[in-house]
Amino acid sequence: MTLNKLFVIILVYKQTKMNKTVTMQNLKNGLIHFLSHTIGAGVLLWMFALPAQAALELEISGGSAIQIPIAILPMAESGSAQSGSRLHDIISNDLRGSGMFRIINTSGMPALPTNAAQIKYTDWTALKAQGLSLGEVQQAGGNLKVSVQVMDVLRQTALLQLTYTVSPSQYRHVAHLIADQIYEKFTGQPGAFSTRIAYVTKVGKRFTLQIADYDGFNAQTLVSSNEPIISPSWSPDGSKMAYVSFEKKKPIVFVQSLYTGERKIVANFKGNNSAPAWSPDGSKLAVVLTYGANSQIYTISADGSNLQQVTKSSAIDTSPAFSPDGQWIYFTSDRGGRPQVYKVSASGGSASRVTFEGSYNDGPRFSPDGKYLTYIRNDGGAFKVAVQDLGSGDVKVLSTGSQDESPSFAPNSRTIMYATRVGGKGTLATVTVDGLVRQRLSEAGGDIREPAWGPAQAAPK
């Protein structure tokens, strides 16, 4: 029913109720009456609305802040809770390295609070702090009870109240967990500080595949050999590790359980078996075989069955990586004359080129959120870590080394770890995806290479 019809019906009803004869003149008068009241009411409403319109409006476009200023205070430690490292230092390093936080220097403060009641907020707003972390560590039987409060300095409210009871050996781990919580509270993204990494060290002639905290501490050996070990790859659930070992005098793909240490050969075909990469569901691996003649991409079930060829070309196809949705395999190929990144359907088919800038782009790895692709680019003779925004296609070179290799995304897609060479030795470094913060991880000694960042679900220690 149209509004006009409804209006006429209302008028007719009103006229009838008033015992008036419904004539065109009456309708006309009614219309005028109605319109005058409507306009009057509108004017009144407009007048009442005036004060709201009179308020000032200020447009603010963009923002120039890139880091959140936060103070991480030393925690009160009681009894034998003291240990060699200090919780607040570990938390500070984590947050600083993420590039998202600016850690406020508190060394000049006369007295630091250890609980919320002692906080004098004006002191912290004067230091431009937006967040404040404080707490205590107590001995609880053979364990440590860690209580942490994170305060919103600007609103003067508690943001986080965390309590952990852990064994003394998990001292660093609990600090990473706290850093994860703080990171997520302020950025909305999960932290990646309690994750683990895998890398290969070479000491003398001995190759060792190690698993450590993301910052290189608490390293543990998974496998060791006098023959090269390369290409470690985490299963999506973090329970298994695939890698290539030359222990049988040829490259063979192994999968080893991190729980039991049990390992099995997944790909030991004729020729070379290399570059394993897990599918997102963990059911299969993409591998590179020279089974036919030249290096080609294949998929194989995690138990070593069901081998399927994905690429069929006369070129060298290598370094495969599944897209996060599992639909595509990105890989390096020299089919165009130079190493470039291509993509092909995970079930095979024709490949299409992904990278067009530069003469050398190799070793693609996806960010877990699927927004970025990282690879090594030959940048004026130097091999550097580059990141490509898959939405816009923009490419940015992030690292500054000359022989950087094996880039790998953190589970939160914010940071990339890679191997670089310093003083003739390989070491690990990280760079934020925006390129703003770079840091080198502690050097455990030896030649470190082939890093792989583990998934969010950390493997048991």
Partner 1 sequence: MKIVLSPQDQVIRKRAAMLSVLMHVLLFLGMIFMVDWKAVHVSPSVMEATLWDSLPSKQPSKPATKPVEPTPPPPPPEPKPEPKPPEPKPPEKVAPPEPQVKQAEQEAEIALKKREDEKKRLLDEEKKKELEQKKQEEKLKKIQEALRKQEEEDKLKKIQDAMRQQDMDAQQSAAAGAVDPSVLNYYMGLMSRKIRSTVNSGLCPVTNPELLVDIQMTNSGDISGMPKLVKGSGDAVCDDAVIRAILAAKPFDMPDDPAARKKMVDQIRLKFRPRS
Which residues here bind partner 1, judged by CB under 8 A? 54-68, 100, 128, 130, 152, 154-155, 186-188, 391, 434
Q: Which residues contact 342 (CB under 8 A, 6 or more apart)?
A: 317, 330, 331, 332, 333, 335, 351, 352, 353, 354
Q: Which is nearer to partner 1, 129 or 258 (CB)?
A: 129
Nearer to partner 1, 1 or 65 (CB): 65
The residue among 224, 276, 268, 234 whose CA lies nearest residue 249 is 268
| Burial of 305 per CB tally in 10 Å (0-12, 13-18, 19+) | exposed
DSSP H or E stretch at residue 98 = helix 87-98
Please report how close the Cβ of residue 153 comes to partner 1 at its closest, in angstroms. 9
Q: What is the DSSP letter of 73?
A: P
**Nearer of residues 152 and 334 to partner 1, judged by Cβ:** 152
CB neighbours of residue 212 within 10 Å: 20
Taking the complex as a whole, the smallest distance from the CB of residue 128 to partner 1 amounts, in Å, to 7
Short-list 221, 233, 265, 218, CA closest to 246: 265
Please state the closest distance from residue 63 (CB atom) to partner 1, in A: 3
Q: Which is nearer to partner 1, 161 or 402 (CB)?
A: 161
- We find the least distance from the C-beta atom of residue 78 to partner 1, in angstroms, to be 33
| Least distance to partner 1, CB of residue 409, Å | 17
Minimum distance between the CB of residue 77 and partner 1, rounded to whole angstroms? 31
- For residue 72, the minimal CB distance to partner 1 (Å) is 18
The C-alpha atoms of residue 192 and residue 177 are separated, in whole angstroms, by 9
C-alpha pair distances (Å), 461 with each of 232, 258, 304: 18, 9, 27
Question: Considering beta carbons, is residue 184 or 237 the nearer one to partner 1?
Answer: 184
Indicate the SS3 state at residue 137. strand
Which residue's CB is nearer to partner 1, number 60 or number 293?
60
Cα–Cα distance measured from residue 4 to residue 229, given in angstroms and rounded to the nearest whole number:
83
Would you say 27 or 68 has its CB closer to partner 1? 68
d(CA 84, CA 207): 30
Is residue 118 helix, strand or coil?
A: helix
Give the residue with the Cβ less far from partner 1, 1 or 56. 56
| 39 vs 16: CA distance, rounded Å | 25
Residue 71 CB, shortest distance to partner 1, in Å, is 14
